[in-house]
Structure formats: structure tokens, C-alpha cells
Structure 1
Amino acid sequence: MSTRGFRWIGASAPGGALYVEWERPEGLGSSTPIVLVHGGGGQGTDWLGTPDGRPGWAPLLVELGWPVYVVDRPGYGRAAGTGPEAAERGPAPVREMTAGIFASGADPRHTQWPGPGGPDDPAIVQLTASSAGIALDQAAAQRHDGEQLVRLLEDIGPAVVVTHSLGAPAGWLAAAARPDLVRAVVAIEPPGPPFLDAPQIGLSLGWGLTSAPLPYDPPVTSPEELRQAAKPTLPGLKYLPVAVVEAEASPLGGGARAVAEYLREVGAHADHLRLVDHEVRGNGHGMVLELNNHEVLDVVLTWLGTLDLPS
């Protein structure tokens, strides 16, 4: 048995509200909540179930005794109407784009996607239907996402933050701002490598891990100044346990090792978790949705089990 509900965080904030759906198991389990932050143009339903109708990570975690909070970032999913009207967004993904990211069929190692791949794959059709365009001003969007995530953590207390893909900057910003409220971060293929400049997709990680400013020490006022700084650190991430997860056959996992290395350079305790090293094979970028999503989750939970989290 469990209790569940929903709430809005920052409903009066000019940048839009964060929608939060929560579920807590009754009886024995962990007292540490897990906050699930969706990626890119996705939404919280990415954690609730898979495109072919199997349980997602949220119900799997609740079944294992974890309190879970699933968010829709401002402008996405059930929070789609809360963002500022003037905020410009890129076009909504079409099926060809979704397939290219999640199931193009080009890599024969990619065996875990729940469908044949390509734009006519029913699973791709389902996933595309839930997707939205990405904010063109990524610095402003990431800054606001991080602020709203902090507000949620102030409400529920210290938690493990799990992010997917472009949801990662919100996690880095929240942890850097309020390290007392983040027990650990699990970043599923975050954008990288650090300082990535990809104008073709409207993304520039000028602050290393984010497009929005991060609080470095010594303080810096611009990405250019950061580039010239000698051994800057992020005090808010110092000693923070971080797992950067990489799938075997993902077109977007190539920066994972570099992200983990950079996190260690700025002070975090970061591990690079390659699924193949844990005998979990055949996954792409959408590993939380794939046929063996429970096995991917087992790798993450095994890592969390090495930490001294409150029971």
C-alpha cells in the first residue's frame, strides 16, 4: 500500500511552476526520497511507465520501498501552461528526430528498445506524442529549473536527485546551491562533455556543466573567466556522491566519462557507471524506458547502496 498526491511548486514564480507527483510506500523502506527529473523535451510520464506499457522507474522504486517525487519541469507535461508566454521554444520533436535519439536502428548493439525502431515504431510514436520543444534560452530555463528544484527540496527535505539527459543541469544547479538538501545525484547520460558548444541543437555548456552560472571558487563572472581560472572548484558539490550513467549503444553517451572526470576536478565524488561493466547490455539513451529498465535501475540502486543514506 502507498499514499500519493501532487502539488505545484512556485506557482507564482514568473518563470513557471514545477509540477510534482509523489508516492510514498507504507511500512518499511527508505526514509530518503528520490526525485526524478525528466530530460530534454520529455515529461514526468517518462518515469511512470514505458512506451509499451510496462512499469517505469517511479512505480518500481515505490515497490522497493522508496518515497518518490516525479517532476514536470516548467513548460513541459502538466506544467506546459505555466511557463512565461514570451519564452521561445524550438519546434516539437518529430518522429524522425525521436527515433534518431532513442531508436534509429543504426547500432546493432542496441537491442533493448521496446520496438523495431524508426519513425513508424509504435513506441517512438508514443514517445514523440509526449515530447515538446526545448527552450531556446537554456541559461534562463536551467536557472529557473534549478531554483524550482531547490524549492521542492526545501519542502520535502534531503533527497537523492536522479536526472535524465538535459534534466541534469537542474540537478547540478540545485546541488551547488543547497548541498545540504542533496544526498546524491544520479545523472543518466547528462549533456557533455563539459564546455560543450553545440549551436546546432541550441546548447552551450559555457559554465562547464550548465548553460546557467554555477557558484565556483574562486568566483568567476563569465564563461571566459572560468576558462582562464586555475583549478576552480564548486564548493556546493564538494564530496557530493555522483553517479554518471552511460549506456552501451547510446548516441549521446560519449561525454559521460568526461563529465565524471570534471566533477571530480571540481570536488565531487563522482563515479562513471558504464552499464556494460555491470553486464547490462544493449541499451540506448532511453535506458529508463527500455526492455531491461529494471536491470538498469538495479545498477543505480546497487551504487546507492554503497552510500550512507538514512534508512
Structure 2
Amino acid sequence: MKLAHVAARFLASIWATMSALSANAADKPPLELAKTGYLYAGGHVDEAVEGQPMVGHLYAEFMIPAKLTHPYPIIMIPGGSQTGTNFTGTIAGDEGWAQYFARRGYAVYVIDQVARGRSAYWSPTVFAPLAPANINFVEQRFVAPERFKLWPQAHLHSQFPGSGTREDPYFQAFLATQFPSLADFGRQQKINTEALVALLDKIGPAILLTHSQSGAYGWPVADQRPNMVKAIVAIEPSGPPMHDIVFSGAPDWFKDAAPTKISGLGDIPLTYDPPLAGGSALEVEQQAQPDKPDLVRCWTQKAPARQLPNLRSIPIVIIMSEASYHASYDHCTAAWLTQAGVPNTFIRLADVGIHGNGHMMMVEKNADAIAGVIEKWLATAVPGK
């Protein structure tokens, strides 16, 4: 109930801006930047590897607008198999969220995850084996879920450009952006959390914008640097709590994957109060019935729930699209945070008049409209100058 009340406060103001945010990119004036460039953060020299390379570092490109009107930059962190290109342009060739927010006075840092893209991968010995991007996964989860209907909301997807078939040029353009990822997600969480903390230490306080897989990094980064993370914009963050979901289509739709998540929200320990004794696990229970028939049954802590004190003062918004596989479970992540004493705003895009989006909403046809929702929330949660 609290989540619905919090989100409702933003609906009227967001609705009022939607029509203005649908303007074509061709109508935009040139983007004026004071500085653009790149940096690396984190990492170390690995003397055990031939050549003694730098490993464990991340790449970040930045845009500093000529008219800087907001005190904190936005760090944009792509999800699984993705790179920073998710935020620097859409599949249809329009500007991305990086340019959108730079135009509105935010400094923006767009990263490539450790061991991906321009953040060098060296060997399985240094990191972990690589898992290649899978065309079936790309097709079923990102580009054309409406054809496969693996979850109840999939048929609503309509915002990816083109026909969604493998031969379509937009499909091919998106497939070209997919990268191998480390097969060990626990390892990914550790090295990316370390590198993102190093980035914060290097550039100063910032807003984290996470997506999907990288949502699992945002919580421990904020837990370790609570005074430096000024807000978290979690775009369909890695979830739901405790167990990932296996999608099987009608009539059963969902089942829990076997592995459990150490912190509830991921595999990096978080600061709970009361603290967890060494080696002990969170005590959890699952809903007997879902909130609605088309949703998963959430896992929650058993009462009294342990709290997450380092996150409670950080403004947090979770944004969920209408047709993504996350539409069946992101409410569970919001509920987990609330139970742990962490206020958050949960926005269903359909509730603010934005329909048809899938998980890769930032590269879809109406990406600017979604950026407008984020902008509106940030204006209230983290005011500018």
C-alpha cells in the first residue's frame, strides 16, 4: 500500500509532460558540451599473468554539459551482455539517455562493465569463463517477447522498432551490440561493485542508474558508500529477491530457480541490522498467493525483518515497463526494500501512460518518454542548483 501511495504522488506531474517528450530527435539543437572524454577506475596490476596487465578496471566515458545545472552526475551502468551503447543511442538511431540528461544539465558517465567492451577481459584465470550472448535469449527476452509469450505480460510488447524477426535490420543492429559476459554472476557482482566504488571515490558523489544485471551492483555500492550515492534509479533491477525466475509460458508461467541470493538482493553481503552472524542466512518465507494472478509469489523476510540502515536515506526509484519479464516480479524488489526499512518509489510505466515497452526500454522507440519519467522523479528527489 505504501509503495502505491508513494508512486501515485508522481503520476499527475509525469502525465503532464508526456506529450512534450515525444518530439523527434531531428528537432533537437546541437548538444553543447564543456568537456567529453573517458577515464578508467579500479583494477590492479596482476603480476601472475603474462605481461602483468591491468585487470579489474572499468571504462567510463563522460559528457559534461556546457551549462551544468545539477550538482551530481549520473553514472549509467548497463546490464547483462550490454555495454554503454545502450545509453548513447537508440536502435533507431536517435540520441540515447546519456545525451538526454546532458541536454538537461547533468554530467553523465557511461560505463562498460569490468571484463566487457572497453574494460579489458584477459583470461578465465583472471576472471571466469565467458558465456556468449545467445540469439534465442535476445529474441525471446528483448526484441520480440510478444511472439513467444513466456510470461503473462509479453503480448503487450510493441515498442521495439521493426518487425522483430531475425532478418530485420533493427534486430541485426541490436544483436551486434551484444557482448559475452562472465559465466559466474557472483564474480561479476564482486568485481563490478569494487570498480564502481573506485569510480565514486575518483569522481565524487553521484546518482546511480542501473539496469537489469547491474541492479545487483547498485545496492552494495550504495551500502559501502552511502554518503556518496545520492540516488538510485533502478531500471528493472536484477531480481526478484532470493531466487531468480524460470519462465515456462502458460499455464504455470513461473518457477523459482534453485540458487539463493546471499543478501536477498544479490550475492554481495549487505549491512543488515541486526547483523547476520558469520555464515548464517536470512530467514525468509514466500507468499502463499501472489498479489495478482499474473505475478510471482514474492519472497520476504520473516518478521521481525532485518533492516538495511545504509540504504534508508538514499532516494530510490524502481521503474518497470509494461511488457518485460520484470513486469511479473519487480514489485517484489520494491517490497523487500520497504520491509527492510528502505523507502522507495515504484513506478509502473503503464500507470503513467507509457505502454508497450520491454526490458530494453532505453533503446526502444519511446525511450525519451521514459527518460522524462526519470527526469521528473530526479527533480523532486535530487533537486538541481
CA contact (8 A) 1:38 1:72 kept: yes
Match in the other structure for 2:86:
46
Aligned residue in 2 for 1:186: 233
Q: Which of 151, 159, 169 matches 1:112?
A: 159
3-state SS of the aligned residue for 1:12?
Answer: strand
Mapped to 2, the partners of 1:291 and 1:243 lie a distance apart of 22
Aligned length: 311
Partner SS, residue 37 of structure 2:
strand
Structure 1's 197 and 250: CA in aligned 2 closer, same or farther, altered over 3 A?
closer
Checking the alignment, whether the CA contact within 8 Å between 1:203 and 1:211 is kept in structure 2 is no
Moved over 3 A (4+): 82-86, 197-204, 221-224
| Alpha-carbon contact 2:276-2:282 (below 8 Å) kept | yes
Give % identity: 32
1:201 CA drift (Å):
8.2
For residues 165-192 of structure 1, what are the alpha-carbon distances to aligned partners after superposition, in whole Å with 9 as ceiling and x for unaligned? 0011111110011110011101111122
Q: Note the residue ranges of structure 1 that are not aligned, 5 or more in a row.
A: none
TM-score, L = length of structure 1: 0.92
In structure 2, the partner of 1:168 is 215
Task: State the alpha-carbon separation in 1 of the partners of residues 359 and 221 from structure 2.
Answer: 23
Residue 267 to residue 223, structure 1, CA distance change in 2 (3 Å): farther
Alignment partner, residue 41 of structure 2: 9
Instruction: State the Cα distance separating 1:17 from its structure 2 match.
Output: 0.7
- 2: distance between equivalents of 1:99 and 1:222? 42
Q: Distance in 1 between matches of 2:240 and 2:73?
A: 29
Decide which moves more: 26-35 or 269-278: 26-35
Q: Residue 380 of structure 2 aligns with which residue?
A: 306
> Which deviates the most, 19-28 or 285-294?
19-28
Aligned residue number for residue 27 of structure 1: 67
Distance 1:38 1:110 in 2: 21
CA-based RMSD of the aligned residues comes to 2.3
For residue 131 of structure 2, give the secondary structure of its aligned residue in structure 1.
Answer: coil
Mapped to 1, the partners of 2:328 and 2:130 lie a distance apart of 24
Q: Distance in 1 between matches of 2:138 and 2:127?
A: 23
Cα deviation, 1:216-239, whole Å, max 9, x if unaligned, reads: 122225685212674111121012
Bigger Cα Rg: 2
Tell which deviates more after alignment, 16-25 or 151-160: 151-160
Check 1:84–1:5 CA distance in 2 against 1; reply closer, same or farther (3 A cut): farther
Which stretches in structure 2 are left out of the alignment for 5+ residues? 1-31, 47-54, 148-153, 247-255, 285-301
The verdict on how the C-alpha distance between 1:24 and 1:196 changes in structure 2, with shifts beyond 3 A counting, is same
What are the superposed Cα offsets for residues 44-97 of structure 1, whole Å, 9 maximum, x if unpaired?
111111222111100111111110000111011111435764433453123222
Question: Which runs of structure 2 are paired with 1:1-311 in the superposition (5 Å)?
Answer: 1-2=32-33, 3-12=35-44, 16-81=56-121, 85-104=125-144, 105-106=146-147, 107-197=154-244, 204-221=260-277, 225-227=281-283, 230-311=304-385
| Contact 1:207 1:223 survives alignment (8 Å) | no
CA shift in 2, pair 1:203/1:191, >3 Å: farther
Q: Deviations over 1:262-305 (max 9, x none)?
A: 11122222111100111111101010110000000101111111
Matched position secondary structure for 2:325: coil
Could you tell which deviates more after superposition, 247-256 or 281-290?
Answer: 247-256
Q: Secondary structure at the match of 1:47?
A: helix
Question: Residues 72-123 of structure 1: CA distance to partner in whole angstroms, max 9, x if unpaired?
Answer: 1101111143576443345312322211111223244211111211333322
Matched residue of 2:359: which SS? coil
Q: Please tell me whether the aligned partners of residues 242 and 265 of structure 2 are also in contact (alpha carbons under 8 angstroms).
A: yes
Q: Tell me the TM-score normalized by structure 2.
A: 0.75
TM-superposed CA distance for 1:215, in Å, is 1.9
Partner Cα separation in structure 2 for residue 213 and residue 116 of structure 1: 43
Equivalent position amino acid for 1:218 in 2: P
Structure 1 contact 17–83 (Cα < 8 Å) conserved: no
Q: Secondary structure at the match of 2:370?
A: helix
Q: Which amino acid aligns with 2:267?
A: S
Given the superposition, is the C-alpha separation of residues 84 and 31 from structure 1 closer, same or farther in structure 2, using an over 3 Å criterion?
A: farther
2:41–2:202 contact (8 Å) kept in structure 1: no
Q: In the aligned structure 2, how far is the partner of 1:126 from the partner of 1:244?
A: 28
Question: CA shift at 1:13, angstroms?
Answer: 6.2
Tell me, yes or no, if the aligned pair for 2:216 and 2:266 is still in contact at 8 Å. Answer: yes
